[in-house]
Amino acid sequence: MDYNKIIEDIYTKVLREENKGQRAQYIPELAKVNPDRFGIHLMTIDNQGYGIGDYQKPFSIQSIAKVLTLTLLYRRIGSRVWQRVGVEPSGNAFNSLMQLENENGVPRNPFINAGAIVISDMILSEFENPKQQFLDLVRDILDDDTIDFCEAVASSESSVGFRNIALCNYLKSLGNIRNNTAEVLDFYFNICSLKMTCKDLSKAFLYLANSEFKTRKSERVLSLSQAKRVNAIMQTCGFYDESGEFTFRVGLPGKSGVGGGVIAVHPGKYCIAVWSPRLNIHGNSYRGMKFLEQFTTDTKLSIF
């Protein structure tokens, strides 16, 4: 498969077309990013990398980090995770409060904000030094100690994060938050601010394409069965109320973030990261979706 040529051809085609959508306006730091950045990086499970455009520029991975926090907790406590968060698509926006009351404060899945906030609370209960231990896992996966949070983005979101503050307080009132809400939200805003390039991101998710993947400490990240389950949740919930559309158009498990990043995983083959900050109305990267649809069409590689 000539990944270089396919990626280059699609990049050139998408770049020529109109770039639609808006940056994430509700987080002031993200609304300042150059909206026409566009980068792609693919990493195969045997470590062959292919990149084009702004693939070496760091950006805020936002909700993509929710897969990494789920991973941190899942490898520590196993299936106990599912006692406090479900595995069903929500059919609602990522920051919706609607289902929580009817469903007794158990969020539908770990990728909507409510679910990721409950996961954050569970991490606070299970780890001595949660922010550091989260960073340690990501740094061990990437073998790179420069990976870090972005203080400016975390404090920017924290200063206006009223909906997440509401979600966290509401979850607390329904008994599904055990720790201090300010500490839970501090952890949550920090993990969302994690900075990576497309090149980093495509490597960071290899453990989901190849469950034999080992960190620099020679540890597996998840078991085969756990990786299957995380991929399944990405497939059904990774794009919120656009998860069906992503599955229909792209046909791979994936996850988006409001920084404009998208990661898609082809189990047994590769991970591909796309970054383009303009988002559609569901909060998913306009060009990210477009690029990946064309990519799985041209390569004829999807899981379906």
- Site residues (CB under 6 A) for ligand DON? 62-63, 94-95, 113, 157, 164, 192, 256-258, 283-284
Active site residue 258: yes
> Of 50, 55, 74, 188, which is the active-site residue?
188
Rank residues 277 and 283 by Cβ distance to ligand DON and give the closer one.
283
Q: What is the DSSP letter of 266?
A: E
In angstroms, what is the minimal distance from the CB of 284 to ligand DON? 6
Q: Residue 78 has which token pair?
A: 């196993």
Given the complex with ligand DON, which of 94 and 213 has the nearer CB atom? 94
The answer to whether 283 and 240 are in contact (CB under 8 A) is yes
Nearer to ligand DON, 109 or 284 (CB): 284
> At its nearest, how many Å lie between ligand DON and the CB of residue 287?
14
Distance, in Å, from the CA atom of 274 to the CA atom of 293, rounded to the nearest integer, reads: 12
According to the 3-state scheme, what is the secondary structure of 183-194? HHHHHHHHHHCC
Let me know if 286 is a catalytic residue: no
Catalytic residue, from 240, 255, 269, 270: name it.
240
What b-and-e string marks burial along 40-74, b requiring 16 or more CB atoms within 10 Å of the CB?
bbbbbbeeeebbbbbbeebbbbbbbbbbbbbbbbb
- Of the two residues 94 and 286, which places its CB atom closer to ligand DON in the complex? 94
What sections of 60-111 are H helices per DSSP? Answer: 65-77, 98-102
Min. distance of Cβ 25 from ligand DON in angstroms? 12
For this structure, is 240 an active site residue? yes
Supply the residues annotated as catalytic. 63, 66, 188, 240, 258
